[in-house]
Amino acid sequence: MKQRFNSLEVMEMAKDIEKRGKKFYLKHAEATENRDLRELFKRLAADEQDHYEKFVALTEELKAEGEEADYLYEEDVSAYFKYLVEFSIFPEDDSEESVEALNDVKKALKLAIQAEKDSILFYKEMCDENEGKTLDAVEKLIEQEKEHLKALSKYIQEYGRK
């Protein structure tokens, strides 16, 4: 199987996504006055922290096994994934869309839904490029991220009825 990223690079990008997700959810939990939404965002932030910790543990395990083997580096693919992680999944705190979402529940939910979709897309791409423990971990994470997407989608449907 051709690998464009080694497992450790995948872990670093995944840890960054999870840190951004936790930060996003905590910030929006603090900003909302809606108690149910606050609890949802806090739960999602805790999940993102759990995902981060799993990736930290797997990173250490891979390092101990000498996973830093040579791999095929493709500059265009690398640039695409790095851009996706840095600018697309969970926007920066000071981005215009993130600031606007602090004052608008629907915007916050839509932004969170899009970030979860983007993270699932990213992780699916990583599945195509990896195998072994990395693949197993990423596949499990995709299922957890899908649960986040379902919870957010359910909430936005209920919120839209109010």
Check pLDDT > 90 for residue 7: no
Confidence of residue 52 (pLDDT cuts 50, 70, 90): very high
Please give the model's pTM, rounded to 2 decimal places: 0.78
Counting Cα atoms < 13 Å in the Cβ hemisphere of 101 gives 25
CA–CA distance, 108 with 30 (Å, rounded to integer): 12
pLDDT at 98: 63
pLDDT digits (tens, 9 = 90+) for 100-110: 666 788 888 88
Check pLDDT > 50 for residue 1: no
Check pLDDT > 60 for residue 2: no
pLDDT at 56: 92
Confidence of residue 151 (pLDDT cuts 50, 70, 90): very high
For residue 39, give Cα distances in angstroms to 16, 56, 81, 93.
23, 26, 31, 20
Using DSSP, state whether 110 is helix, strand or coil. helix
Q: For 91-115, b where at least 16 C-beta lie within 10 A, e where not — what string?
A: beeeeeebeebeeebebbbebbbbb
pLDDT at 71: 44
- C-alpha closest to that of 111 among 127, 93, 91: 91
Q: Judge whether 75 and 128 are in contact, CB under 8 Å.
A: no
CA–CA distance, 130 with 2 (Å, rounded to integer): 8
pLDDT at 55: 87
C-alpha R_g of the chain = 16
| Percent of the chain scoring above 90 in pLDDT | 25
pLDDT at 22: 94
Mean residue pLDDT across the chain: 79
Confidence of residue 132 (pLDDT cuts 50, 70, 90): confident
| Domains detected in the chain | 7-161 (1.20.1260.10)
pLDDT digits (tens, 9 = 90+) for 66-91: 755 444 445 555 566 666 666 566 66
